[in-house]
Each structure stands twice: as C-alpha cells, then as structure tokens.
Amino acid sequence: MWVILRKDLAIERRTGEILSSLLLLALLMVLVFAFTLEPERLRDPGLLAGLLWATLLFSSTLAFGRSVVLEREAGAWTALAMAPIDRGAVFLGKVAANLVLLLGAAILVLPVMAVLLGTRALVPSALLGLSLVLGTTGMAAAGTLGAALASRTRAREVLLPIVTFPLLAPLLIAVVRTTAGGLVGTPLVALRPWLVLLGSFDLVFLVVGWLTFDHVLED
Amino acid sequence: MIVAPGAEPVAARGLVKGFGALRVLAGVDLDVPRGSCVAIVGPNGAGKTTLLRILAGISRPAAGSVRLFGHECSRNGTPAPIRARVGLVAHEPLVYRDLPVRANLEVFASLYPGSEGAATRAGRALERFGLEQVAERPARALSRGFLQRLALARATLHEPELLLLDEPLTGLDASARERTLDELVAHRARAAQILVSHDAADIAALATSVHGFRRGRLARLSDRPVAESDARRLMRDLGAIS
C-alpha cells in the first residue's frame, strides 16, 4: 500500500496534473456560483457546505479518472497485478493517494470559497475537520473503485460519474449536514448520527474495494 | 499452499478462452520444463497473447487447468508466492511513463521479496540492460529501443523462474539485441521461458522447441532448436508470415 501511495505522489510531484486540474475546475465552479447565485443566499453556511461538496464531487471525477489512466497508460496495472502483493493493498494505496490530493484540494478550496462567496462565518472546528476527512475518504474509496471498474470499458469517461454519483448520494447528504454544522461551530455530538453514517460509508467502500480489487485487476 | 519441489514450471491442460462469440483457445495443452524456451508461433489473433496472459495470472480461462510450479492456478487465481516466480515482457512496457527509469525499477523491485534492497536490484537491472545513461529520464521520453530495454529490465529484476516473452527484442538495435540475447540465454539455463515471436531469427537464437497455433490448439512443430530458415518455413506453413 505504501509503495503505491509513494509512487502516485511521486508522479503527482513530477507532473502536478491531478492537483492542478482539480483546483482549476474547483475554482471555476466557485466563480460560477459567485456570479450566478443571489449574494444573500450565499451567506448561508448550509449552502456553502453544499456548494463545497458539489465542487469537490465534480472536480474529483477528473482526479479519479486520471489516477487510473496513469496505471492503464503503458500497462503498468498488468505489472501490479502480477506482483506478489495483496491486490487489495493496491486499491488502498490508490485510495490513500487520491485522499491526499482531494483533502488538499478541499483545504485549499474552502477558504477561497468562503471569501469569494462572502460567507459570514468560517469557524475552524473539530467537526469541520472530521467532516472533510470522512467525506473525502468515502469519495476517494467509492471514486477509485468506480474509476477502476469504468476503466475496463470504452465509455469510461461517461461511465465514471454514472457509476459513482448515485453511490455517493448517502455520503453527500450526510457530509453536507456535518460540514454545515462544522462551519458554524455546532458541537460534534449534535451531529453524531450523520458522522456514524459517514464512517460506515467509508468502511463499507474501503472493505468492498479491498475485497473485489483482485477481480478488477484481472481481465 | 503445497508446491511440489522440482515441479514443472508450466503444465496447462485443455485451456479454453473466448471473447464473446469468438473462441480463441479451444483446448490448449502445454508443458514447459526447466531449462527450456518454448517458442509459440501463429498468425495474428491466433491466441498467443491470450495464452501468455492466462499463464501470467492476469486472465482466467473459461475451462481447463493451469499448473504453475505444481500449483493449480486456473480456479482461484495465481497465489502471490507463485506470482513472485513469474515475469512478463508484453506488447506494452508495463511501466509508469511519468516516472524516471530508475524510479520505475525501484517501484517494481520493492513489490518483490528479495535479500537485497530495491535500489540495489534496480541498479543491477539498469546495468544489465545498458540503461545507466537514461536512468534519470522519464519513461515517456525514451526511444522505442530504450523502452523495450526497460520492459526487459522490469520483467527480470526479480529473477523469475518462468519468463513469458511476447516479441521481446522488438525495437532493439544490433548491440542491444546481442546483449539481450546473451541475457536471455543465460536466464534460460536456470529457468523456463515461453517466447511468442514473428521473428525467425529470435526463434532460432532462443527457442529449444517450437509450438504452433492451429484452430485454437497448440501443435508441437519441433522438439529441438531450429535454424532461422526452418523457423521461417514453420511460420509460413501456419500463415504467421508471408
């Protein structure tokens, strides 16, 4: 797992492709929101949370697609499938690398969003941090699995959002609530059921991906 | 996992594989003993690459059995200790195009067990295939020949006991070809190889026997090494070359 994580981050350090495209798309979406939505409504932290996760959802599709392309491009995935390692660890390594990039993007985008959209309050809190970590983990797990499955087909670019967006619906509902709570300093315990849902979602997709990646890597 | 000591590297029986309505392998039998290099010839689409992918453990047959080093691998996949003993040179280089040559080899070396560190094994592979001068260059920037050398270095850096070679000398210049042939002949002495090639010279230089694809099955064409002219004739008879 660590070899895959290190390798993916080394490639990203050299090319900067995934993070730059992720940030660029996120910024464009924030600008679109800033120009098209009513300023009064944008002051609502609940709306800011929704816009943040919508932005991350769409821009993460690029990251997941690209992270699989770099494996498929020259057939490196075949060499990974042949290596005497747990193939589930390859999945976890890819998830970890996507998580680092996605979490980095979320941390960079959130304050930019708050400034551009003129949100009144942005209180860094444990709940906000936990929401970002749990939300991006689930997104990375479901997105990495979806991208790997979609990459086996010809219509992979179309299939990736079709496969992942419905899967991510429960995560998005929960994480928007916890993030909104985190932005205004709601106590963590008040949103416990949503946090449990987020944690369960992450666990399910990490385990499913780990168990099924053996078959994903084979023809 | 029980692995019989000294078991044959490859013993495949009745392998069947198709893609949709197209049946590519229709009952392939193949034995590959240690110290041998079995050449497999046939026209495009005959099933040579499909067979290599099944033996490499990255594709499963619809029917039939594959025993690698005495272990049945076709039903539940190839277990990790057996995968550690197999290497593959494929059509694609199977590397990361955005990583430098040395980093590529270190990544793959670190996935295999070994008494020496990944950097040491990668360094030795660089030397063996004459890649030192391009060691810090990204694979994306390599010429076809250097990319092929990288593919060979990656496939052999864990000293596989079974080496699957799909057109391994493609794109190499004369001196690299000689050097690689020497490496492969030396490797054959302590392991087993399967060579898929359309090049009669490659088959003459490496193969200890020749098999050919006919209607989805493998037929033994020669039990011994063949001269280049004989290899060409065998391939012509199968329609593999004109």
Q: Based on C-alpha coordinates, what's the Rg of chain A? A: 17
Mapped onto helix, strand or coil, the DSSP state of residue B163 is: strand
Residues B167 and B73 in one domain: yes
DSSP characters over B78-123: --HHHHTTEEEE-SS--B-TTSBHHHHHHHHHTTS--SS-HHHHHH
- Report yes or no: B105 and B119 within 8 Å, Cβ to Cβ: no
Higher per-residue pLDDT: A77 or A121: A77
Residue B1 forms part of a structural domain: no
How far does the CA of residue B46 sit from the closest CA of chain A (Å)? 18
Spatial distance between the Cα atoms of A37 and A50, rounded to a whole number of angstroms:
13
Residues B12 and B26 in one domain: yes
Over residues B97-155, the pLDDT tens digits come to: 999 999 999 999 999 988 899 999 999 999 999 999 999 999 999 999 999 999 999 99
Residues B177 and B152 in one domain: no
A89 secondary structure, DSSP code: H
Spatial distance between the Cα atoms of B235 and B212, rounded to a whole number of angstroms:
8
- Report yes or no: A74 and B105 within 8 Å, Cβ to Cβ: no
Lowest-confidence region among A27-41, A166-180, B90-104, B157-171: A27-41
Residues B180 and B205 in one domain: yes
Mapped onto helix, strand or coil, the DSSP state of residue B6 is: coil
Q: Is A74's CB within 8 Å of B86's CB?
A: no
Query: Nearest residue on chain A to B110, judged by CA atoms?
Result: A3
CATH of the domain at B242: 3.40.50.300
Residues B37 and B134 in one domain: no
Over residues A123-149, the pLDDT tens digits come to: 678 899 999 999 999 999 999 999 999
pLDDT at A111: 83
Work out the mean pLDDT of chain A and round it to a whole number: 89
Residues B189 and B216 in one domain: yes
- How much is the ipTM here? 0.90
Top residue of A68, A71, A82, A216 to mutate, by most chain B CBs within 10 Å, is A82
Task: Write out the two tokens for A204.
Answer: 């399910």
Q: Is B58's CB within 8 Å of A76's CB?
A: no
Residue B186 forms part of a structural domain: yes
- Report yes or no: B95 and B104 within 8 Å, Cβ to Cβ: yes
How far does the CA of residue A213 sit from the closest CA of chain B (Å)? 12
Residues B46 and B71 in one domain: yes
Residues B76 and B191 in one domain: yes
Residues B70 and B183 in one domain: yes
Task: Write out the two tokens for B12.
Answer: 């495949």
Q: Which residues contact B149 (CB under 8 A, 6 or more apart)?
A: B129, B130, B131, B172, B176, B180
pLDDT at A158: 82
pLDDT band per the 50, 70, 90 thresholds, residue A119: low
Domains of chain B: total: 2
Partners of residue B96 in chain A, C-beta under 8 Å = 7, 11, 70, 74, 76
Domains of chain A: total: 1
Residues in chain B with pLDDT values less than 70: 1-5
Partners of residue A152 in chain B, C-beta under 8 Å = none
**How many residues are given for chain B?**
242
pLDDT at A120: 58
Residues B225 and B167 in one domain: yes
Residues of chain A above pLDDT 70, percent: 97
What is the strand order of the sheet B63-68 is part of? B22-32, B10-19, B63-68, B71-72
Residue B71 forms part of a structural domain: yes
Residue B90 forms part of a structural domain: no
pLDDT at B2: 46
Last residue of a domain, one of B159, B181, B206: B159
CA distances from A147 to A161, A217, B38, B128 (A): 9, 12, 38, 37
Last residue of a domain, one of B159, B189, B208: B159
* Residue from B115, B203, B195 nearest B159 by CA: B115
Q: Is A82's CB within 8 Å of B88's CB?
A: yes
Q: How many CB atoms lie within 10 A of CB B95?
A: 26
Spatial distance between the Cα atoms of B233 and A119, rounded to a whole number of angstroms:
78
Residues B60 and B154 in one domain: no
Q: Which residues contact B20 (CB under 8 A, 6 or more apart)?
A: none
Q: Range of B195's domain?
A: 8-85+163-242
Q: Give the H/E segment covering residue B14.
A: strand B10-19
Q: Is B99's CB within 8 Å of A81's CB?
A: no
CA distances from B31 to B1, B22, B77, B200 (A): 21, 25, 19, 22
Residues B107 and B222 in one domain: no
Task: Write out the two tokens for A10.
Answer: 């080394």
Q: Range of A173's domain?
A: 2-217
